[in-house]
Amino acid sequence: MIDTKVLGDKFQQLYGSTPIIARSAGRVNLIGEHTDYNDGFVLPAAIDKEIVFALAKNNSDTCRLYSVDLDDSAEFSISAPAKTDKAWANYVVGVAAEMMAIGAEIGGFDCVFGGDVPLGAGLSSSAALECALANGLNELFGCGFDKLTLVKSAQKAEHNYAGVKCGIMDQFASVFGTAGHCVRLDCRTLEYSYFPLNIDGYKLVLCDTNVKHSLASSEYNTRREQCESGVEILKKYQPEIANLRDVSLELLQAHKDEMDPVIYKRCEYVVKENARVVKACEHLDAGNLEAFGEQMYLSHEGLSNDYEVSCPELDFLVEQTRNNANVLGSRMMGGGFGGCTINLVKEEAIESFVAETAEAYQKAMGKEMKSYTVVIGDGARVEQAPVC
Ligand code: GAF
């Protein structure tokens, strides 16, 4: 957990004023991958790893930023917020700009931020950054936006300033997450319910491949376009179809021959994954962890074979669990092309599971594997109390 005293001290040292503290969480996703931008279902949860901002007005036109983790600084003008040549700073520019685009009156501010969400591990460090800042600016400048508006501004910042046409899952979980629960979200209506994570005797363990292949963002946007082109074909038959959420497996199969085989595979994966989320929630509700775990494995197979967003490192880690009686389910998590697998592991076997998997991974891939046992935490919040 990040020490807010360190952030506050750094803030004082750099800018000499007293900040507020705004934080937001990274996330895991139990099941429902690449379904959010198809208006489908997801089952994420906020984790106890966060990005934290120390933030204060500076009554000027200039915003001054400092990243503790990168030991780097940047500036931009709030009256003309434009992308900088630093990718990390553009998330900050983007959130401020997107909030102003819907009417927020934001002036110059200073910020120092850092966190313990591992970067590039598929735990949504970028959503945590965007949401912490959106929440902090909302408080600091009295914008009066509700949580959902902040989520949408953060998502737009990711689209327009990081170039990833993401769905809403990461930002939603980062803001709306609550300790001990996952969030079952309908990405069309944005109706959600908190699901207690009843996995007695088991825990969620993340195995981090320690790789992030460079094609991740471009392939992500391509997947989105492929889904949309599948929908265009089906619309000719059922004009009311807006998204893959509206498509049944029967309808899809009936028009298989009219689709490019790659487009078909992508659409079939999404339609099946949506059904898996519904089933997985029923299993979780009934306490049937074996059946829940099976859905996780099926999800991975679809992501690897049909959606083609896995990679050898992720596939290896999932395969390793197949004959391990202490693991009920395993799948790649998030956008793909690296990052973590999420595993449902018997509590008493976690230590040996991690040690054996890391050893096998090192041997086969020549790389170090990291691991995290998931603790479900709270979403975005602001602390008014000064830190120094
Ligand atoms: C990334 C995106 F940001 C999410 O919106 C989601 O699509 C996810 O990949 C895949 O499920 O994390």
pLDDT tens digits for 272-326?
999 999 999 999 999 999 999 999 999 999 999 999 999 999 999 999 999 999 9
The answer to whether residue 352 scores a pLDDT higher than 70 is yes
Q: How large is the average pLDDT for residues 257-275? A: 98
The answer to whether residue 382 scores a pLDDT higher than 80 is yes
CA of 82 to the centre of ligand 1 (A): 25
| Annotated catalytic residue within 39, 170, 208, 306 | 170
Tally of CB atoms within 10 A around 78 = 18
Looking at residue 384, its pLDDT comes to: 65
Pocket test for ligand 1, best of 35, 220, 221, 332 (most atoms within 8 A of CB): 220
The CA distance from 212 to 215, in Å, is: 9
Asked whether the beta carbons of 96 and 111 are under 8 A apart, the reply is no
167 lines ligand 1 (CB under 6 A): yes
Residue 67 is assigned to a ligand binding site: yes
pLDDT tens digits for 89-115?
999 999 999 999 999 999 999 999 999
172 lines ligand 1 (CB under 6 A): no
Q: How large is the average pLDDT for residues 225-248? A: 97
- The radius of gyration of the chain's CA atoms, rounded to the nearest angstrom, is 21
- The two most distant CA atoms of the chain are separated, in Å, by 66
pLDDT tens digits for 64-82?
999 999 999 999 999 999 9
What's this model's pTM, rounded to 2 decimal places?
A: 0.97
Q: How many CA atoms lie within 13 A of 126 on its CB side?
A: 27
CA of 196 to the centre of ligand 1 (A): 22
pLDDT class of 217 with cuts at 50, 70, 90: confident
Looking at residue 2, its pLDDT comes to: 80
Atom of ligand 1 nearest to the CA of 122: 12
Q: How large is the average pLDDT for residues 234-241? A: 96
The CA distance from 14 to 77, in Å, is: 18
Looking at residue 216, its pLDDT comes to: 74
Pocket test for ligand 1, best of 166, 243, 266 (most atoms within 8 A of CB): 166
Q: What percent of the chain clears pLDDT 70, i.e. is strictly above it? A: 99
The answer to whether residue 387 scores a pLDDT higher than 80 is no
The answer to whether residue 386 scores a pLDDT higher than 90 is no
Looking at residue 388, its pLDDT comes to: 42
40 lines ligand 1 (CB under 6 A): no
Q: Is 170 a catalytic residue?
A: yes
pLDDT tens digits for 36-49?
999 999 999 999 99
Q: Exposed, middle or buried, 386 (CB in 10 Å: 0-12/13-18/19+)?
A: middle
The CA distance from 147 to 4, in Å, is: 23
CA of 60 to the centre of ligand 1 (A): 36
If we measure between CA atoms, which residue out of 166, 141, 128 comes closest to residue 51? 128
The CA distance from 253 to 20, in Å, is: 54
Angle between helical axes of 87-101 and 147-161 (0-180°, round to 10) = 130
pLDDT class of 35 with cuts at 50, 70, 90: very high
Q: How large is the average pLDDT for residues 366-384? A: 94
pLDDT tens digits for 154-212?
999 999 999 999 999 999 999 999 999 999 999 999 999 998 998 999 999 999 999 98
